[in-house]
Structure 1
């Protein structure tokens, strides 16, 4: 009976051998039936060069001296293939031996790319899994091909193709080459909206990030289809409606159709707006003992009768949550209970406070940051490992991270922890360039062509430091500046920084002296709330005025100022060296919706500077400014801007010097040169500076009719008005020295138009101004230009 069983087993092995050789897969039951079993004396390994025979035997389920079945051999083959080390595996029986014959996969000598221009080799190597000195497997190569194709598709090239080729080398090694055919960019031809009544298509196109292809498509990437960007655009549209009263708003669908013949996408958003609501009655309730709803009601930003806004609801929840956490209620949870009334079109809100689930943060995982340090991201969280988990504070941290503008995208999610009451917070980020190159250029009759260029890095060394280097000048002026700021000084939410500068101005037709200034300063910033900040500063500056061909030492000895012809005696009186040492503080309020391209909100700043902390000069200088942005006609893209500013300086026990006064002109009231308004020497025309200035601006920005939006051109009309007046040189004391002043508090005003271009190099602006009211001694300028760029 035993001899018959052995002969039957040998026969089954001989029949199964061809199946092993055909691709290495063994059909179940082809070796021996599950009801039968065989015994082998030894396992022989053949064909291996790099892999040790004992390693291969370890993957075999059958062992010498033990019975084995077809199921065991199937599992053995699968285990060997899953190692990725072998291109082929065959199992046969020779006598009492089980023979395992393998064909090893080659080793990769080098991974190369050909035909790629859009992405560098280093970028593609970061995508593929195959690498030098690794094992070549067909499955991994095919996966790499798909990864490269996905990269190109996300970059808007849907006609790209990739072919993997190998070049055989000695000793079973190969060079792996991915041949890339990039193809043309697949742009977005049209973005359509269906179902929108409250806002026009053009208005909603401005809300989203995706753009339609146009004349400047070769310079930007937002006009290609990206599924992640489309999802982000859906959220932008949703928030836009929810913040403007449309509480029932829904996006029914967002579809991207590819026209392969034209190689373009057509994107269509179908929306259901619902009706517009206002806030109804607002209340706060608490089921947690010890919490006073009346105290929390003061923190609610939503107001009855105002247009419903999900942002106001979220801000109210956040403010109350932070207050409760600081009062010892770490697990308190606030839920808004909405009471819709379609007839009155109001939504009443009751903020219900109850005890939330007791969950703790097990750890915070950060993924995707190759440059930014972990601690730079972690410090934006108000919670840490071991703290009570709070969804509101997580959302707040996500908003803070986005506002840093370090990252292209930020997504914070949660995963279950090791225990039921533990939560893992996962931060997924995608980094983006944080450098900024800005420049400005203009022309004035005083300095001719003038310009400046600055280089700013907002995330220096990935540590969140801000570093700025600036150089400027013209035919008779040169400026140099370096600044450094740590936004989290000593690990706290306090900014600290320093700057050093050097400024050199030579005499010209409208400035009759040379002026050099060298100095530096320290600044500290303390955020009080999300919108309100206090800044403290100290500055020391060495100043030197030199009048050509004028001997200051002779005049100072006898109290006279016999200046060079054409030079104001006030300038001569200011000649010499002086040291100014001052401290200052600023109060800043910032509620802008976007700090780069604001469309709504207020920015206001109040500053006082006190000189006399050592040094040679004593004064108190006060300045203030406020800007208000508001969409006048949202559907038409018309943006309104109102701006007011002013300043005053007074000497502390001494007159205000020429160098400390306010020199105002076209940067304040367009249509005038720099230092074009304010007190002047009546004999020489030299600007003497003002002790007081006030100014206001009203501006409307709008799309230019007939100009394709993708070009990025917009127009603006403006009206500026203000004055700069008062000087200590207008007194009998200085008249006795021969100093006579033209000074008037009359309002200077201008109107004009501007062209704004969101160019590929950054925002550019050209202003054309016509002066309405002025004084005869004012200096006018019709045209100004300036701009900036990011990289």
Structure 2
């Protein structure tokens, strides 16, 4: 089709090169059967008020070919009469897929096909669809699949398309290897990549399947991780799959980390007539970065500040360039050049390829809108916003000239991808056993809404939750969420009571100040508390039903250098739950502070402070299900739930809980053990306060323990050991010198 198009263009140029522009007096259209003359004229965008020349005839040809309705088009213009001859493309009568029985595999293929039933057939799009089907099959592990497309020509200028598919055997990953100058242990790298090794119990996960797109994602994740750690010139030089005799694959990543680089001189250059004070934050960032390890996240922070400045009216036509210069062996000079460019405007934004995602969802994530001043920085940020959604396999953009020299047209093309997730996992350890299952859809009916269902079972509880959230409500950058949940905690055998709690919550989350996030919400729950004869007298008195409605909020000040495997920075969180209508009116306050520091290369020190309290604002007693227990991860060396006040041999929890944790990784202990990491720790904590009885010891005593822990990436899943020795304790506390936890996914 495209060869014909260019041939016709060439002939027209020869015939009409010397012709003068003339008005169209009449239009004759022939060859069309299904498509009306008026429709063809509309698609061609013929303007009878303008003179017709060779350039405009080319535009008419292009417009008609772009409809994909025609196999051939001829245009002749003589004596002010425009003659258009078209040969219509056949209509697709049916599309069939043979060789696949499972609808869960067949349905996504039908959704992604460009040529569907009742569409016009196009040879070029048919080839693209065939490649698309093959890529979908490969992404589902059918690496050896074969696809044959048969076109059956019917009467009345229609065709039937039949995809004959031989799936072959699924390609699974037997082993993942990391080789080369990789600097880090395999355990750490396994946690970064998305692919995982196949095990017989992994019946849910698709990450065990060999998928070229996922391998490319792994490479990007590895490169970004190394760049954030200072390895500016890192190269994942090759990633290759080795086919084994048993039909499985070994996946190998060859990593060359290179030298670790440090920021040297960072300079900002702006036009002389700009106010330097408006760029003071960038200068401040530069001062803080000097002599620190290179970090991709730090560069992103600088660019975000430039983007913020570009949003101001007086700087809406600036552009920024970054010059990077290597100094010596491992130093980097950075120069950020701010320049003012010609003021241009966004005439139109065209979005194509979004067969599922609604256009308003895409536009809500664009910083630029039609009529705005065009800005390259904000345009790039808009495209990055779309990529970050996770809805699209690819996002591409093109900037074209508009109707005049001061206008620009932005074309954006997206390629959809499946956005649903199913996951299952299990864990066991000295604290008990857990099984979990979840189903999640990240782009429900194309509206950008997230739906999730979670189910979790432990030795003494079952919890279910259904949640829905919109991460960018009406383009406001605010997340709104709602959830319905139900839980049952059965402690009849241990403490003589069982509680069932059901309710819902509504809330929002947004950035209140820079790096400060506020999350207000309201929750309403109904709780039923049952007891038996083994329960203490105070617990038996609390038997009954309760209704609670609370206002909650969370302040989250996050200054970590990265959310995953943090090495520097801090995070400070304060939360409060205020009762509105309640039978016990329990006021809950909570605070947690986390600090991270890289003491030396790969030796990460952490400090955590945690505190929480619950008291009735009416002076009453807090019911047993609201009392506080020390989280087991915050006080190693003691049995979970067996610390704090004791009433009739029952550990009843306290009104207050606090802890202090110090830890440091030990990178030089057994450095050749690639799948394990060691660390040392010191934990101190306290659980105290009994509001319902003055005769019960409130157990106000500092507990502490120190020890060493091992995190091991095993064939089954992550396994953690801790060996701890209690230093101080109360007489009623139960210690635990050894603890382990093992987790896996299915």
Question: Same fold by TM (over 0.5)?
Answer: yes
State whether structure 2 residue 594 is matched by structure 1 residue 609.
Answer: no
Say if 1:482 and 1:501, in contact at 8 Å, map to a contact too.
yes
User: Please, what TM-score do these two structures have when normalized by structure 2?
Assistant: 0.70
Find 1:303's aligned residue among 275, 284, 289: 289
Evaluate the alpha carbon distance shift between residue 134 and residue 198 of structure 1 in structure 2; reply closer, same or farther with a 3 A threshold. Answer: closer
Say if 1:532 and 1:590, in contact at 8 Å, map to a contact too.
yes
Aligned to 1:16: none
Q: 1:775 and 1:423 mapped to 2: Cα distance?
A: 72
Say if 1:543 and 1:577, in contact at 8 Å, map to a contact too.
yes
Aligned to 1:486: 470
Aligned to 1:13: none
Note the C-alpha offset of 1:647.
2.0
User: Secondary structure of the equivalent of 1:392?
Assistant: helix
Say if 1:593 and 1:601, in contact at 8 Å, map to a contact too.
yes
- Summarize deviations over 1:179-212 as a string: whole Å, max 9, x none: 4334456789999999x76847969976985869
Aligned to 1:499: 483
Note the C-alpha offset of 1:727.
0.9
User: Please, what TM-score do these two structures have when normalized by structure 1?
Assistant: 0.66
Say if 1:534 and 1:588, in contact at 8 Å, map to a contact too.
yes
Say if 1:359 and 1:423, in contact at 8 Å, map to a contact too.
no
**Uncovered stretches (5+) of structure 2, i.e. residues with no partner:** 1-31, 38-64, 73-87
- Summarize deviations over 1:542-561 as a string: whole Å, max 9, x none: 45545435xxxxxxxxxxxx
Q: 2:303 and 2:106 mapped to 1: Cα distance?
A: 48
Q: Which moved more, 1:510-519 or 1:404-413?
A: 404-413
Say if 1:110 and 1:175, in contact at 8 Å, map to a contact too.
yes
State whether structure 2 residue 539 is matched by structure 1 residue 571.
Answer: yes
Say if 2:437 and 2:456, in contact at 8 Å, map to a contact too.
yes
Q: Which moved more, 1:777-786 or 1:162-171?
A: 162-171
Aligned to 1:511: 495
Say if 1:505 and 1:514, in contact at 8 Å, map to a contact too.
yes
Note the C-alpha offset of 1:747.
1.5
Find 2:658's aligned residue among 672, 690, 693: 693
Alignment of 1:54-453 (within 5 A): 110-116=94-100, 120-125=105-110, 148=133, 160-163=145-148, 177-184=162-169, 199=183, 220=206, 224=210, 226=212, 239=224, 243-245=228-230, 249=233, 276-280=261-265, 282-290=267-275, 292=277, 295-298=280-283, 300=285, 303-326=289-312, 328-338=314-324, 341-342=327-328, 346-412=331-397, 414-421=399-406, 422-437=408-423, 453=437
Q: Which moved more, 1:199-208 or 1:113-122?
A: 199-208
Note the C-alpha offset of 1:417.
4.0
- Summarize deviations over 1:734-762 as a string: whole Å, max 9, x none: 34xxx3326142214365656666989xx
Q: Which has the larger radius of gyration?
A: 1
Note the C-alpha offset of 1:358.
1.9
User: Secondary structure of the equivalent of 1:300?
Assistant: helix
Report the number of matched residues.
663
Say if 1:380 and 1:397, in contact at 8 Å, map to a contact too.
yes
Note the C-alpha offset of 1:513.
3.0
Say if 1:204 and 1:237, in contact at 8 Å, map to a contact too.
no
Q: 2:310 and 2:128 mapped to 1: Cα distance?
A: 51
Q: Which moved more, 1:514-523 or 1:121-130?
A: 121-130
Note the C-alpha offset of 1:331.
0.8
Evaluate the alpha carbon distance shift between residue 113 and residue 164 of structure 1 in structure 2; reply closer, same or farther with a 3 A threshold. Answer: same
**Uncovered stretches (5+) of structure 1, i.e. residues with no partner:** 1-49, 56-78, 87-103, 550-565
Kindly report the root-mean-square deviation, in angstroms, between the aligned alpha carbons of the 2 structures.
5.4
State whether structure 2 residue 627 is matched by structure 1 residue 661.
Answer: yes
User: Secondary structure of the equivalent of 1:586?
Assistant: strand
Say if 1:755 and 1:765, in contact at 8 Å, map to a contact too.
yes
Q: 1:473 and 1:264 mapped to 2: Cα distance?
A: 35
Q: 1:307 and 1:169 mapped to 2: Cα distance?
A: 67
Aligned to 1:747: 703
Aligned to 2:82: none
Find 1:586's aligned residue among 554, 557, 571: 554
Q: 1:525 and 1:105 mapped to 2: Cα distance?
A: 52
User: Secondary structure of the equivalent of 1:624?
Assistant: strand
Q: Which moved more, 1:449-458 or 1:196-205?
A: 196-205
Say if 1:752 and 1:768, in contact at 8 Å, map to a contact too.
yes
Note the C-alpha offset of 1:614.
4.4
Alignment of 1:710-721 (within 5 A): 719=681, 721=683
State whether structure 2 residue 642 is matched by structure 1 residue 676.
Answer: yes
Note the C-alpha offset of 1:533.
0.7
Say if 1:702 and 1:714, in contact at 8 Å, map to a contact too.
no
Aligned to 1:772: 726
Alignment of 1:517-596 (within 5 A): 517-528=501-512, 531-548=515-532, 567-572=535-540, 574-575=542-543, 578-590=546-558
Aligned to 1:725: 687
Say if 2:187 and 2:676, in contact at 8 Å, map to a contact too.
no
- Summarize deviations over 1:552-572 as a string: whole Å, max 9, x none: xxxxxxxxxxxxxx6434434
Note the C-alpha offset of 1:770.
5.2
Say if 1:245 and 1:309, in contact at 8 Å, map to a contact too.
yes
Q: Which moved more, 1:258-267 or 1:172-181?
A: 258-267
Note the C-alpha offset of 1:678.
1.6
Aligned to 2:29: none
Say if 1:188 and 1:213, in contact at 8 Å, map to a contact too.
yes
Evaluate the alpha carbon distance shift between residue 745 and residue 487 of structure 1 in structure 2; reply closer, same or farther with a 3 A threshold. Answer: same
Q: 2:531 and 2:139 mapped to 1: Cα distance?
A: 62
Note the C-alpha offset of 1:488.
3.2
Say if 1:410 and 1:430, in contact at 8 Å, map to a contact too.
no
Q: 2:310 and 2:107 mapped to 1: Cα distance?
A: 50
Evaluate the alpha carbon distance shift between residue 627 and residue 428 of structure 1 in structure 2; reply closer, same or farther with a 3 A threshold. Answer: farther
User: Secondary structure of the equivalent of 1:741?
Assistant: coil
Evaluate the alpha carbon distance shift between residue 281 and residue 106 of structure 1 in structure 2; reply closer, same or farther with a 3 A threshold. Answer: closer
User: Secondary structure of the equivalent of 1:497?
Assistant: strand
State whether structure 2 residue 624 is matched by structure 1 residue 624.
Answer: no
Q: 1:287 and 1:171 mapped to 2: Cα distance?
A: 71
Note the C-alpha offset of 1:236.
5.4
Q: 1:169 and 1:139 mapped to 2: Cα distance?
A: 20
Note the C-alpha offset of 1:356.
2.0
Q: 1:703 and 1:186 mapped to 2: Cα distance?
A: 38
Evaluate the alpha carbon distance shift between residue 678 and residue 142 of structure 1 in structure 2; reply closer, same or farther with a 3 A threshold. Answer: closer
Evaluate the alpha carbon distance shift between residue 399 and residue 649 of structure 1 in structure 2; reply closer, same or farther with a 3 A threshold. Answer: farther
Q: 2:458 and 2:191 mapped to 1: Cα distance?
A: 40
Aligned to 2:41: none
